[in-house]
């Protein structure tokens, strides 16, 4: 069996070794979970990833896996969804900042970096997107993205577990979102619409006991390896409790 993980910096193991480190797959929670389950492991996550990237790269992985003649019955997927105020855009200009095969992340709060690295037209697009993205629209897009990936995994019979990486910014009390929210299978989504039941909240809750920020965390938001080890055990407990494996 192989554990395939996807998500943002909290799944990639950002800053486990030094400040502003993008990823450290060998020490992040998915590797510890895979070792405990005696599975092989592939980590698709990247710092700054949006729900769009998570869906896109999981599609690509499944396509390539099947194309190579491998069985999807050997795959188990765990996704920690990132916040809703993120997206990405494909930029077919090699001289620009190349994040992920010309897919460039757009994250609210990265204005200074984007102004320096983006072309003027791309920067103004980012500014417009930031100014006009509402919580309602962001939440709609999030629920639809989750359902999209859920249905792909259903189609191929791939076992999975979803969870949130952080307080996502979802407008959980907005009844206009019910047509989208209701499509999500809660059996395989731990903590859906529960801000207290995401990776960062759980680490904050246990901080006095085992969790602390990684050494010299430049963002003051990424946790150390002990926290990743604890979270891997937490996920394994959920898998057994829900009889997912």
Higher pLDDT, 174 or 98: 174
Residue 195 has pLDDT above 80, yes or no: yes
Q: How far apart are alpha carbons 43 and 4 in whole angstroms?
A: 6
pLDDT tens string 59-115: 999 999 999 999 999 999 999 999 999 999 998 765 555 678 889 888 888 888 889
- Which of 87, 104, 86 minimizes the C-alpha distance to 95? 104
CATH 3.40.50.620 is right for the domain spanning 2-85+135-241 = no
Residue 203 has pLDDT above 60, yes or no: yes
2: alpha, beta or left? (left if phi > 0; alpha if psi -120 to 50): beta
Q: How far apart are alpha carbons 6 and 4 in whole angstroms?
A: 7
* Predicted local confidence at residue 210, as pLDDT: 46
**Would you list the domain boundaries of the chain?**
2-85+135-241, 86-132
- The pTM (predicted TM-score) of the whole model is 0.93
Residue 213 pairs in a beta bridge with: 223
pLDDT tens string 14-73: 999 988 889 999 999 999 999 999 999 999 999 999 999 999 999 999 999 999 999 999
pLDDT band at 205 (very low <50, low <70, confident <90, very high): confident
Rg of the chain on CA atoms, in Å: 18
Within 10 Å of residue 102's Cβ, how many Cβ atoms? 14
């Amino acid at each position: 069996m192989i554990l395939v993980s996807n998500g943002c910096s909290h799944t990639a193991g950002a800053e486990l070794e030094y400040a502003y480190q993008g990823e450290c797959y060998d020490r992040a929670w998915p590797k510890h979970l895979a070792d405990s389950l005696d599975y092989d492991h592939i980590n698709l996550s990247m710092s700054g990833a949006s729900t769009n990237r998570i869906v896109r790269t999981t599609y690509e992985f499944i396509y390539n896996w099947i194309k190579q003649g491998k069985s999807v019955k050997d795959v188990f997927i765990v996704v920690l969804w990132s916040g809703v105020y993120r997206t990405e855009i494909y930029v077919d200009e090699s001289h620009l900042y190349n994040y992920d095969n010309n897919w460039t992340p757009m994250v609210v709060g990265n204005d200074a970096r984007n102004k320096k690295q983006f072309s003027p037209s791309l920067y103004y697009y980012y500014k417009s997107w930031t100014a006009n993205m509402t919580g309602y629209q962001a939440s709609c897009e999030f629920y639809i993205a989750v359902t999209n990936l859920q249905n792909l995994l259903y189609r191929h019979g791939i076992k999975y577990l979803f969870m949130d990486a952080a307080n996502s910014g979802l407008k959980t009390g907005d009844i206009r979102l019910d047509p989208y929210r209701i499509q999500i299978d809660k059996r395989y989504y731990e903590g859906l619409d529960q801000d207290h039941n995401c990776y960062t909240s759980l680490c904050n809750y246990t901080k006095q006991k085992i969790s602390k920020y990684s050494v010299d965390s430049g963002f003051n938001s990424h946790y150390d390896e002990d926290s990743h080890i604890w979270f891997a055990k937490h996920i394994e407990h959920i898998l057994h409790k829900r009889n997912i494996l």
